A = this chain, B = another copy of it.
């Protein structure tokens, strides 16, 4: 409450700049717009730029949007920002957006919290395009009908009618995991899969099935769990309680599930990796926080966001989006090792 209400020095407009430079408002707009190099003499342009800088002129975005009908704003639809992967996707997208004077506004689809508001009720009018994760399926239905350019992240390229797709080489990642474990000598696997049924997890499952199926004496069981530590632990405890030869490796759809699997192992008196190897997926911060550290697949999350935003910009300008999947990389750490000698 120092001097709460100054007369509030009104932000300078292009007209103020024009007055200061002794030209018309249109000239200011021409100069600062940077187009039509031949329309204004370099001397005048220089003067206008100086005055603009001196006054601290910033174009009014609302007016610009109104005039142009475009807002230079994209919507990023993700399941939840508390998921580190999507926080990183946002970071990447925002970085590329900033380079092109674009803004990114988020719609984390409500996971129970908050009222079931239409995310586009207010936003739809102010967006140039949408980047959406396939994992935010509930929000995707709301997208239907919006006539906006759409870039899909990690979704079935054949499934949706998006203007562009940005995908990770998930299948390759899962193959790397399998090769690693098979190379170590593992033959009896459990696939600890995500309970949610999106493309990215379907790809994991299929790649794993194929890789294991190609080895004659290898076998695999699948259990499903929601994406949290406790569920991963409980599912693993169940899986290990099944009669028959104990599996020697658990392949998890996600680091969070892997952390749960490790906890289950410890509870059952099994050592990781001596008695049980565990692999994760994503390489979250979690992966190096637990003991032992997780062997996992590193995903270039920021790049997903960057490519997504770049693709949207391309679509908006009528250019083709850069094709091709993003490479992923197996990181071998302490949670995997050769299986114990057969009992």
Write the residues of chain A forming the contact surface with B, with a CB cutoff of 8 angstroms.
2, 4, 6, 8-9, 11, 58-63, 65-66, 71, 80-82, 84, 87-88, 90-91, 94-95, 98-99, 101, 103-106, 108, 113-115, 117, 121-126, 147, 161, 163, 229-230, 256, 259-260, 262-263, 266, 285-286, 288-291, 302
Pick from B60, B259, B291: contact of A66, CB under 8 Å: B60
Most-contacted residue by chain B among A71, A91, A124 (CB, 10 A): A91
- Chain B residue numbers with a CB within 8 Å of A90 are 81, 106
Pick from B87, B101, B126: contact of A122, CB under 8 Å: B101
Shortest A7–chain B CB gap in Å is 11
How many Å lie between the Cα of A141 and that of B115 in the bound state?
Answer: 36
How many Å lie between the Cα of A65 and that of B82 in the bound state?
Answer: 31
- Chain B residue numbers with a CB within 8 Å of A65 are 62
Q: Contact: B101 with A103, CB < 8 Å? A: no
Q: Contact: A71 with B62, CB < 8 Å? A: yes
8 closest A-B pairs (Cβ-Cβ)? A62-B65, A62-B66, A81-B87, A259-B289, A61-B126, A95-B114, A58-B125, A82-B87
Pick from B161, B163, B291: contact of A291, CB under 8 Å: B291
- Chain B residue numbers with a CB within 8 Å of A106 are 90, 94, 104, 106
Shortest A255–chain B CB gap in Å is 9
- Chain B residue numbers with a CB within 8 Å of A99 are 115
Shortest A90–chain B CB gap in Å is 6
So how many copies of this chain end up in the complex?
A: 2
Shortest A266–chain B CB gap in Å is 6
Pick from B2, B4, B62: contact of A62, CB under 8 Å: B62
Given A105-B103, A286-B285, A291-B262: A125 in contact with B61 (beta carbons within 8 A): yes
- Chain B residue numbers with a CB within 8 Å of A147 are 6, 8-9
Q: Contact: B288 with A229, CB < 8 Å? A: yes
How many Å lie between the Cα of A114 and that of B114 in the bound state?
Answer: 32
5 contacts between A and B (CB under 8 A): A62-B62, A103-B123, A106-B106, A230-B288, A263-B289
- Chain B residue numbers with a CB within 8 Å of A66 are 60, 62-63, 66
How many Å lie between the Cα of A126 and that of B73 in the bound state?
Answer: 12
Q: Contact: B291 with A290, CB < 8 Å? A: yes
Q: Contact: B58 with A124, CB < 8 Å? A: yes
- Chain B residue numbers with a CB within 8 Å of A9 are 147
- Chain B residue numbers with a CB within 8 Å of A60 are 66, 125
Quick one: closest B residue to A83, CB to CB? B87
How many Å lie between the Cα of A61 and that of B124 in the bound state?
Answer: 10
Most-contacted residue by chain B among A8, A105, A161 (CB, 10 A): A105
